[in-house]
Structure 1
Amino acid sequence: MNAMMRRVVIGTTAVSMALAVAACGKAGDDDKDSGSGDKTIGLLLPDSVTARYEKFDKPFFVAKVKELCSDCKVEYANAAGDAAKQAQQVSSMITKGVKVIVVSAQDSAAIKSSIKTAVDKGIKVVAYDRLAQGPVSAYVSFDNVKVGELQGEALLASLGAKATPKSKVVMINGDDADPNAGQFKEGAHKALDGKVDIAYEQSGLWKDTVAAQKMSAAITQLGAKNIAGVYAANDGMAGGIANTLKGAGISGIPLTGQDAELAGIQRIVAGTQSSTVYKAFKPEADAAAQIAVNLLDGKSIDSLATETLTSGSGDKVPSQLLTPVSVTKANIADTVVKDKLYTVAEICAGEFAAACKTAGLQ
């Protein structure tokens, strides 16, 4: 190859390299402009056993984010009840470049280090429904002590004249790893202490199977005829407890719940559960989405998170707390049906049709 040809080849190669570098630079600029990561919000929910998360919280949250920010993307993952898996999901969100993570912690203490890692990377974290430990920017939930009070008050109301300091009540609480469980318990004790005898109290770990086992143990310990009522911290556990009560030949005693799950509402209609607590999922999901988008855009959340709570790690967290509602047979139509959470047809399907007519729902 002569000198002239070498100069042409070298010159051509240099131009090609320059164009390639320019193209790479332009692609990077386009990626930045298109919001790769910059417009992504992560949503991490704790389990798939509790019906509300997949059926309501997730779709409501995604819809509200899209309404507020049409070019935003939501990355979603469910921990399936596994705290270690949720920690991995936080790491994955960090790798994907999300700018805000909204998380309902499977274990509020265990997730602390993951949250700190995310925040150290410049990611804003919003605690959803459960107050996670660590440097979270905001918390969205319901007044959980009030939830417990409503549950306790509903149990007392169902007991009526049978609510005496000697009346034996079984209390099946949620998972201690969930800070909400402690608040529900606190509120319930506030309503029940001194008015009934909480003769048996255990954690059901938010699992219907565990709650059923605990209820069976309570029956063995106290005697079937000596149980006046049962406090169950949520509808999922109430389902397991209701089956155990039926198997033991126990009927007509109050059984509380929470979350206004369809199965819980149907048990209320049928008379095997006395009450639940309705925490309207859409307002909660909408509130979390609004805060997440504000944080994404660098806007203030002061007008949204107007209260301050202290987490288990001692962090002061701006919080938005919504108001829960007690649901009994008397106000199903004015709550979950009115809000279109369920239709009358859904509630009154199959074996519940006759009970619905008696309850005035059909």
Structure 2
Amino acid sequence: MFDKTRLIGATALTVALLGGTAASAQTAGTVAFLMPDQASTRYEEHDFPGFQAEMENLCPDCTVIYQNANADVALQQQQFNSAITQGAKVIVLDPVDSSAAASLVQLAQSQGVKIIAYDRPIPDVPADYYVSFDNEAIGQAIAESLVAHLEETGVPKDVGGVLQINGSPTDAAAGLIRDGIDAGLDNSGYTTLAEYDTPDWAPPKAQEWTSGQITRFGDEIVGVVAANDGTAGGAIAAFKAAGVDPVPPVTGNDATNAALQLIIAGDQYNTISKPSEIVAAAAAQVAVQLLNGETPEAETTLYDTPSQLFVPVVVTRENIKEEIFDTGIASAEDICTGRYAEGCAELGIE
């Protein structure tokens, strides 16, 4: 297991931070955990297991409902209605469409059901709480990391530029990441050649768009700021299919196993370490407090919603061993397979 205390740092995940009484809660109830899509493997592999484990720890008599909408707004609404019908008193919602989710929040609150916005905010109607990593800080961090790398490697600023691959246009969190990327690129001196909002965060869409930009700009592309590891993987696949060698530095976000392997191989430049289990555990603590009729404390407010935002960590080949493997977020057994074994050995990952 990874060391949560070390990873969270200044925003330490403690019961005291969220009000101090969740760990002693005995109230039983039904809580729903509704996730948005299957384009990323994180929800089944990390978010839900982390949420379920913390719920079992804090409220063993509680019932947990888990559903994934597979990027379907109508399906998520059905799942939401079903959760209420099954007696859910708290719903943790990561919306497919942040705007469409406003009506879900209103419906739930009219029936006394509490809503925890998770990962993606719901800007139009305040939820009861919001738990996430700081998405704007993520975008700015990956962009600034790329800019620093380009400067350190002597890439000129007056020739070519970067591609910007954003997330889904229906995801408010993607908008925050985009804003952060913009801030990280502003005044960098590097031109943004073209920008794309990726429908449903789908890697094939990012790959298709990047292929077109390679045809359009060729070797003028000096780097790619991709908003997550899936879109980064799509971009990298496009460069490889076009025979581009080496692949320009590409950013990412989520520290998926595939991205960690690409970083080790030198195909992806960076990602963001944000173990989903941390945010999921925080959401479980808030859920139990809301079940008990308590008011969780908040360190900030976003979209008029009390919020807990955790600090992201940029991971590159230089610190991947320390941040990912030494902390137990990932294991060499899972990552250092096949063609990645040589890279792991170079980095002392074993």
TM-score, structure 2 length as denominator? 0.88
Indicate if the aligned counterparts of 1:143 and 1:323 stay in contact, CA closer than 8 A. yes
Q: Secondary structure at the match of 2:65?
A: strand
Amino acid in the other structure paired with 1:59: P
Indicate if the aligned counterparts of 1:172 and 1:214 stay in contact, CA closer than 8 A. no
Shift of 1:193: 2.0
Indicate if the aligned counterparts of 2:133 and 2:310 stay in contact, CA closer than 8 A. yes
Q: Secondary structure at the match of 1:249?
A: coil
Question: For 2:238, which of 229, 233, 244 is the aligned residue?
Answer: 244
Shift of 1:182: 1.0
Question: How has the CA–CA distance of structure 1 residues 177 and 163 changed in structure 2, closer, same or farther, with 3 Å as cutoff?
Answer: farther
How far apart, CA to CA, are the structure 2 residues paired with 1:157 and 1:135?
A: 37
How far apart, CA to CA, are the structure 2 residues paired with 1:47 and 1:215?
A: 22
Indicate if the aligned counterparts of 1:116 and 1:135 stay in contact, CA closer than 8 A. no
Question: For 2:47, which of 51, 57, 60 is the aligned residue?
Answer: 57
Matches within 5 A, 1:294-309: 294-302=289-297, 305-309=298-302
For residue 122 of structure 1, what is the aligned residue in structure 2?
Answer: 112
Indicate if the aligned counterparts of 1:119 and 1:135 stay in contact, CA closer than 8 A. no
Amino acid in the other structure paired with 1:318: P
Shift of 1:76: 0.8
- Any idea what the Cα deviations from partners look like across 1:309-352, whole Å, max 9, x if unmatched? 11xxxxx1000000000000111121122332210121111111
Amino acid in the other structure paired with 2:146: L
Compute the RMSD of aligned alpha carbons. 1.5
For residue 272 of structure 2, what is the aligned residue in structure 1?
Answer: 277
Amino acid in the other structure paired with 1:319: S
For residue 260 of structure 2, what is the aligned residue in structure 1?
Answer: 265
How far apart, CA to CA, are the structure 1 residues paired with 2:140 and 2:156?
A: 16
Gaps of 5+ in 2: 1-25
For residue 150 of structure 1, what is the aligned residue in structure 2?
Answer: 141
Question: For 1:41, which of 26, 31, 40 is the aligned residue?
Answer: 31
Shift of 1:68: 0.8
Question: For 1:68, which of 58, 68, 71 is the aligned residue?
Answer: 58
1:360 corresponds to 2:317: no
Shift of 1:243: 1.0
Amino acid in the other structure paired with 2:267: T
Question: For 1:203, which of 197, 214, 220 is the aligned residue?
Answer: 197
Shift of 1:260: 0.2
Indicate if the aligned counterparts of 1:115 and 1:136 stay in contact, CA closer than 8 A. yes
Shift of 1:158: 2.4
Indicate if the aligned counterparts of 1:280 and 1:324 stay in contact, CA closer than 8 A. no
Gaps of 5+ in 1: 1-33, 311-315
How far apart, CA to CA, are the structure 2 residues paired with 1:194 and 1:165?
A: 13
Amino acid in the other structure paired with 1:73: T
How far apart, CA to CA, are the structure 2 residues paired with 1:73 and 1:88?
A: 19
Amino acid in the other structure paired with 2:222: A
Q: Secondary structure at the match of 1:102?
A: strand
Q: Secondary structure at the match of 1:321?
A: strand
For residue 334 of structure 2, what is the aligned residue in structure 1?
Answer: 346
For residue 166 of structure 2, what is the aligned residue in structure 1?
Answer: 173
Taking CA–CA contacts closer than 8 Å with sequence separation of 6 or more, which of the two structures ends up with the larger relative contact order?
2
Shift of 1:194: 2.9
1:320 corresponds to 2:308: yes
Shift of 1:165: 4.9
How far apart, CA to CA, are the structure 2 residues paired with 1:309 and 1:163?
A: 38
For residue 108 of structure 1, what is the aligned residue in structure 2?
Answer: 98
Number of residue equivalences: 319
Shift of 1:163: 5.3
Looking at CA atoms only, which structure, 1 or 2, has the larger radius of gyration?
1
Indicate if the aligned counterparts of 1:41 and 1:98 stay in contact, CA closer than 8 A. yes
